[in-house]
Amino acid sequence: MKYKSYSLHNYLSIPQVNYLSEEAKRDISVVANVLPFKVNNYVLDHLINWDNLENDAMYHLTFPQKGMLSEEHYHEMASALDKTDDKLYLKTVANHIRYQLNPHPAGQKEYNVPEIDGEKLWGVQHKYREIVLFFPSAGQTCHSYCTFCFRWPQFVGMDELKFAMKETELLVKYLEEHQEVTDILFTGGDPMIMSFKVFEKYIEPFISDDNKTNIQTIRIGSKALGFWPYKFVSDPDADQFLQLFERIVKKGINLSFMAHFSHPVELSTDVVKTSIARLRSTGMQIRSQSPILQHINDDAEIWSEMWREQVNQNVIPYYMFIPRDTGARDYFAVPLVKAWEIFRAAYTSVSGICRSVRGPSMSCTPGKIQILGVSEINHEKVMALRFLQGRDPDWVGRPFYAKYDPKALWIDDLRPAFSESFFFENEMAEMF
């Protein structure tokens, strides 16, 4: 299959466009002027059920819906479109809305960007001791866009909101000076949007004989298996990527492909099964993670089916995430208690080999916080939580409690139980 993408400027040429109502087309035009929209022919032809769009998970995952903007923001953008087609004016209106959508949650710009020799590394995040995230500038797009994407600011043409770096020299220097870092995650966007020649240049410093960093694990965060599995099957440089992956593994570096599957249908096609098998043949591991999302996968049976199928294809279930408080979060949000109930119901219905998955977890400012469950202590109903990752490694694994709140969507909505503050709050205040 030859790759073909569609976005705001050409979506009316989608072959299946006649399945869309005029109201749906209007909503796409309004919402896609604010939030990114991109879909490709594989998703259109093989993943979306065009006979049941209202209830189809993959349609909601890739096509903008009216509810992804608040009524106020929808009306603001719609009114602007009705008034003029002046691109500069429309961009100004869109940007005004975007700045109100918490474009960089969890303190990413304020707290996560490291520096070296007084220079900020704006394509790097170093939040947890052992791992650094790298955003290569050539990987600042995806094969299709997820409508819930918490990295949506990377795709809307606002350079001041982007994380991106073209070169690796400063990154390598930083890692040489920070030997505590053992893992590097290539992220974006999607690094697998890059050609082989470009991607190889980013990887080479870590597998060369001159490597002086302490990198022991290379992670590749990618949605390619879900949205364009031909990347590793029939694309012109597919075999070159596989050879590079094999070379990394033979170098003694752990190579983990951090896949992103949101629904079992993404694992159902012959080409994705072939792609997974080809990647596994290189010696790499494949782990899967995804947020729990209303309209897409807020059902225990969906998750248990997905985990079973992942294991059947030698993919390791890794994380269930809570969607970050940014962008279209309100449309997709599932209350923390409900997310835990869904996780638990799915978790108890699968065999132990599927239970490598962790969650539900919030990637918030202090770290990755897991909801362990609901309990009663001293006649008080509480929520038990713990850190899976923390800005301070000493926080990891320590249980703590919040007052029971069935409506809470994020850590900021919770209140401490049995104390005036959560144990990490004072330490956080001292850090920054």
Question: Residue 83: inside a domain, yes or no?
Answer: yes
Q: Name the amino acid, one letter, at 382.
A: V
Q: How far apart are CA 289 and CA 45, in angstroms?
A: 24
Among 273, 291, 309, where does a domain finish? Answer: 291
Residue 300 lies in a domain: no
Question: What pLDDT does residue 159 have?
Answer: 66
Task: Give the rounded distance of the alpha carbon of 270 from its chain centre.
Answer: 24
Q: What pLDDT, on a 0 to 100 scale, did the predictor assign at position 195? A: 97
Looking at the fold, whether 324 and 284 belong to one and the same domain comes out as no
The tens digit of pLDDT for each residue in 17-37 reads 999 999 999 999 999 999 999
Question: Total structural domains in the chain?
Answer: 3
Q: Verify that 352 and 221 share a domain, yes or no.
A: no
**Are residues 67 and 129 both part of a single domain?**
no
Q: What is the pTM for the complete model shown? A: 0.95
The pair of structure tokens assigned to 141 is 């797009």
Structural domain including 70 reads 5-98
Summarize pLDDT for 78-118 with one digit per residue, the tens: 999 999 999 999 999 999 999 999 998 878 888 999 999 89
Shared-domain flag, residues 93 and 113: no
Q: Is the peptide bond between 123 and the residue preceding it cis, with omega within 30 degrees of 0?
A: no
Q: Residue range 6-18: average pLDDT?
A: 97
Residues 29 and 123 in one domain: no
Where does a domain end: 98, 127, 143?
A: 98
Same domain, 383 and 428: yes
Whether 186 and 84 share a structural domain: no
Same domain, 237 and 342: no
**Could you tell me the two tokens for 346?**
């799915």
- Same domain, residue pair 360 and 283: no
On whether both 361 and 394 belong to a single domain, the answer is: yes
* pLDDT tens profile 108-144: 888 999 999 899 999 999 999 999 999 998 888 999 9
Asked whether residue 161 carries a pLDDT value surpassing 70, the answer given is no
Which pLDDT score, from 0 to 100, does residue 106 have? 76
The Cα–Cα gap between 228 and 72 comes to 35
**CB-CB contact of 129 with 140 (8 Å):** no
In a domain, 298, yes or no: no
pLDDT of 162 = 67
- Give domain status of residue 308, yes or no: no
User: CA distances (Å), 134 to each of 16, 70, 184, 217, in order?
Assistant: 37, 32, 7, 13
What would the mean pLDDT of 229-252 be, rounded to a whole number?
Answer: 98
Q: Give the integer Cα–Cα distance in Å for 12 and 190.
A: 25
For the segment 197-228, what is each residue's pLDDT rounded down to a tens digit?
Answer: 999 999 999 999 999 999 999 999 999 999 99
Question: Among residues 222, 256, 291, which one ends one of the domains?
Answer: 291
Q: DSSP of 205-273, one letter per residue?
A: HHHSTT--S---EEEEEE-HHHH-GGGGTTSTTHHHHHHHHHHHHHTT-EEEEEE---SGGGG-SHHHH
Length of the chain: 432
The mean of the pLDDT values for the chain is 95
* Residue 129 and residue 28 share a domain: no
The pLDDT tens digits for 287-333 are 999 999 999 999 999 999 999 999 999 999 999 999 999 999 999 99
Looking at the fold, whether 277 and 409 belong to one and the same domain comes out as no
Look up residue 229 and give its amino acid: P
Say which CATH number the domain at 263 has: 3.20.20.70
